[in-house]
Structure 1
């Protein structure tokens, strides 16, 4: 790709910059399987459920989507619900507690290839933002030592405060491009989730790059990715060449 055609890079966080998708997956599995066992449901929650119903979505939307797939109805509840509450919000909060505990005890290291691309883009003056459904985005970036590279962060927290619908709607990506002062046609979206590449395509951005961390290149392409890579280090040489 020719980076001279673009002025901004809009990165999803989990699974693109940091391997926190793995931490999220473990936290979701722990929460949902505990919940299903408590209700006497024999069919467990699996990684396939994560990619189909949860990946890339705001937390409560993920809870709602998975429960609907199992024909389980719960009241919505409220964001202030305790993690013990059997509500959509309560289960989402329980998952967040599990995630924070895993992050605290194990930490997180960014993908080396992602660090290399961010540094190359920063060197050439490309504007960069994080667009994440996670409300923990700032904490994860801080733990990974990457927060200084991103002057704009549109996380689940900011999306809620600004009334922006989450992925697969394009609104959070559009808001990040606007915050950077870059037209969407000059911005590149980086996503590893199907809902994320759908958002990039729906927003009509200049380029949508799918990062295949397990969901599958064909799936990413079918849902809107223009290009699919296995790791962002595949794009570093182009970024350095554009910056020369």
Structure 2
């Protein structure tokens, strides 16, 4: 496993960042939204335990919204119709529940706002100063709104979010497709790109795409789980990766 001190930024042509939990603490907003939605849905259903943070990390974290719903329901032995993306939020379908979760998320984001992690901004500043192209690769369709709310949209040359992925029929994480497409958009190869991820499914995507460096950001998944998933380096904060000549 590579150490932080070994990272040579001259070896890379692009930096590809997951958003929630890497650049902004919106993973916490997502976690609260998922918990409220699933626990409201599960209430009163015989034999069903409440949804927990462990369920989030095991079944939902890093996945496209509908995939997260589908995976969690499967784990609980619940079979719902798939529905369509146009299903209303009160529909008991996979996509209806996904849309219901998005309503919870949008309300929390509007009420509370969001600020980028200070350490992440330090790294963004350092890489921008080096002229390194940067992209966001997020499963969330809300990524553009979150970037604007946090005031960090101008750092990124391209934003691959869930809506674009759906339009292009790209498989979500842990498949590497969205990262590969983002690297191509900023003119880089996988071998000369760095992936930053806090989700196990995300580091798995980076490893599957044979990216030059996969950085796991431990916001709760655990260093071992991230390393086992494919992270080459695990940090607690992206400030640990700021180049020496930028400190």
TM-score range, shorter chain: over 0.9
Query: For 1:142-163, what per-residue CA distance to the aligned partner results, in whole angstroms no more than 9, with x for missing partners?
Result: 0000001112000001100111
2:180 aligned residue: 174
Gaps of 5+ in 2: 1-6
Change in 2 beyond 3 A, CA 1:210/1:88: same
1:177 CA drift (Å): 0.3
1:39 CA drift (Å): 2.7
Change in 2 beyond 3 A, CA 1:41/1:139: farther
Query: Contact between 2:48 and 2:76, CA under 8 Å: does it hold in 1?
Result: no
Query: Contact between 1:121 and 1:240, CA under 8 Å: does it hold in 2?
Result: no
Query: For 1:166-185, what per-residue CA distance to the aligned partner results, in whole angstroms no more than 9, with x for missing partners?
Result: 00000000000000011111
* 1:157 and 2:163 correspond: yes
Question: Which of 16, 20, 23 is the aligned partner of 2:22?
Answer: 16
2:98 aligned residue: 92
State the 4+ residue runs in structure 1 displaced beyond 6 angstroms. none
Question: Which of 21, 41, 50 is the aligned partner of 1:44?
Answer: 50
Q: Aligned with 1:60: secondary structure?
A: helix
1:238 CA drift (Å): 4.0
Query: Contact between 1:3 and 1:238, CA under 8 Å: does it hold in 2?
Result: no
Question: Which of 168, 189, 195 is the aligned partner of 1:183?
Answer: 189
Q: Aligned with 1:214: secondary structure?
A: coil
1:6 aligned residue: 12
1:60 aligned residue: 66
1:41 CA drift (Å): 4.5
1:101 aligned residue: 107
Question: Which of 32, 38, 46 is the aligned partner of 1:26?
Answer: 32
1:234 aligned residue: 240
Query: Contact between 1:121 and 1:239, CA under 8 Å: does it hold in 2?
Result: no
Query: Contact between 1:83 and 1:90, CA under 8 Å: does it hold in 2?
Result: yes
Distance 1:33 1:20 in 2: 20
**Equivalent residues in 2 for 1:177-216, closer than 5 Å:** 177-216=183-222
Question: Which of 145, 162, 172 is the aligned partner of 1:139?
Answer: 145
Query: Contact between 1:137 and 1:155, CA under 8 Å: does it hold in 2?
Result: yes
2:121 aligned residue: 115
Q: Aligned with 2:56: secondary structure?
A: helix
Count residues with an aligned counterpart.
Answer: 241
Query: Contact between 1:118 and 1:149, CA under 8 Å: does it hold in 2?
Result: yes
Distance 2:109 2:245 in 1: 31
Distance 1:38 1:101 in 2: 25
Distance 2:235 2:145 in 1: 27
1:81 aligned residue: 87
